[in-house]
Structure 1
Amino acid sequence: MNRVSIAGATGYTGIELLRLLVRHPSVRIVSLTAESHVGRNIAEVAPSLAGYLDHTLVPLDASIGQDCDILFLALPHTASMAHVPELLQGGCRIVDLSADYRLHDSQVYGEWYKTEHQNPELLKESVYGLPELHRSSIGSARLVANPGCYPTGVILAAAPLIQTGWGDADSIVADCKSGVSGAGRKLSQTTQFCEANEGVSAYGLAEHRHAPEIEQEISRLAARDITITFSPHLMPMTRGLLSTVYVNLKQEIDRDRLHEHYEAFYEKEPFVRVLPPGRFANTHFVAGSNFCDIGVQVDTRNRRAIITSAIDNLMKGASSQAVQNMNLMLGLEETVGLDTPPVFP
């Protein structure tokens, strides 16, 4: 039985991890940390887990890395990078759900996160944890950087066009809409009910921190430096993320041919569902699951592909993708603990 621990177990992503791991047949939960709730039982802070877990929350220290095989870091951005070296020395392998090890260039990290990276040498070792693109590297990695929610949706939508050269990578426009849970569990004015309900708002235009993450992976697929236009929006819903990605086509392609291309590209991917022609992604139909649904269309007047993708931002956009990465790292069947249908309605 593989031993797992979670640092930051009481945030939305930490609680989602626990919901998945308590029914995972190949793991045993060892330690849970939460600096603001040390000494309390996890069921006090996350009542949904009552009867499933009886763990006292402890502070994060180096010994955590000695007592587990896989450690999930569900900490705020910039909070986990200082802990990673000493935790790795303890012998565990890490799946980091923050952005601290996603960007391979420390200068880019500093520009977007307004702080100097403390362990730039580990950025080259870290593997970007998008299984559909990096499966072989994830399996042997000791440090996996779990992707952000927006990048997961956008990259999966664009990859079949960019990797094969069908689309113009310089033309990418990603219009994305996320549920309020994407902002985390900490209180803020913009995510209060009266502020978010009955309204849709754009935010972080031309400066959202997920932009360089998307560009890093698209650039790798295109084999040259790429910049994109990325526009995130906040939706008055709890969970879900819809991306509509526009890419100019390099040749005349109709919708059916584009659909066949996407089906072939993702044919062996257990968690990517390419929808039938004429259907488009809907967050309702992926909620509570690790699926990414993709629908395609061609705007023939403008010779432009319009790709829609839907994920659950807390699942494929965070916690269930982290479990998918864990499965690969432990040599388990990739779908173990994740192969359940979405929740609807």
Structure 2
Amino acid sequence: MPFEAKPEGAVLPVLEPGYLSIRALRKEFDGFVALDDVTLDVRKGEIFALLGGSGSGKSTLLRCLGGFETPTQGTIDLDGQRINALPPYQRPINMMFQSYALFPHMTVEQNIAFGLKQDGMARDAINRRVGEMLELVQLGKLAKRKPHQLSGGQQQRVALARSLAKGPKLLLLDEPMGALDKKLRSQMQLELVNIIETTGVTCVMVTHDQEEAMTMATRIAVMDAGWIQQVGKPDEIYEQPANRFVAEFIGSVNLFDGVLDEDLPEYVTVRTPLFPAPIYVAHGITGYEGQPVAFALRPEKVMIGKDEPAGDTNKAQGVIEEIAYFGSHSVFHVRLPSGAKVLSNFANSQRWASDGLTWGDTVWVHWRDNDGVVLTS
């Protein structure tokens, strides 16, 4: 397939060699480029998430780190050691698979001890290490059980203990919550983070679940089509998306196309046919007047009410078309005369708090000067 230019607006990491240092990594499969010039640094002791949809390249990158795929070009260094040419069994890396891959005929303690026995560790040392791992994951009372006698969360902790038993320099997690139901997944996310942070191991996890990445990771790399679109802390990724792809991929967002009307160091204004009033943003950007842009506004930043707000900017009148109730909050779909739809999250902080607004009501939507982001790509 022909090579494409990198998408404008993709934010690449600063080249500061980390504990795990990936440089210009490329992986091709019969002419298909799965990873294209991936450069990334992971700090020692952090939980780093590779987040993206199907075909984004996140799993291929994880398999390259584990030694299950050989990069077409580029380098991978871990703790100052070049590991590109090392087979999986020689890398100081362990991987916990989505299926957990526990041995069904072995007990919990035998599963944890397996890798240590393969390394020829003395029996007494193995027993001590297995005991430490059982205590870490709080499964000492279940040491003699076999995997089929455990819950999904318990199986996950056994798989994690086995992965940590050898004291790897890098732990790889492949969709760690994929086999759990939603309620257990939420509980295990924080539990898994606590266990990993207790050991101090550096961790790279792959997930397509935004909530999982935002909850567990110290930093996130958002991937698409083999490229890294943005790297940052969860709040940075959410509040300051680098481009349209990131804004739309992470959470819900209102996106309005327009052009820069004024571009000054102190503020910018965006004109769009979707709103009768201009959009005012209380800081400058790197752009030019007349430049096509998109204005990204998270629904929870949009205020809604029947009274017209003060000021001449950042507001529009419309009609409530739909109301979606989610328990903790409701999402109001407000249709503007231009045809544009604005989503507004309304926190249900009181029982029946939204009784004052209903379908068909004419309302005003508005937001503050720093609530949105102007995207130039």
TM bin (shorter chain): under 0.3
TM-score by length of 1: 0.26
Q: Which has the higher strand share?
A: 2
Q: Which has the higher helix share?
A: 1
TM-score by length of 2: 0.24
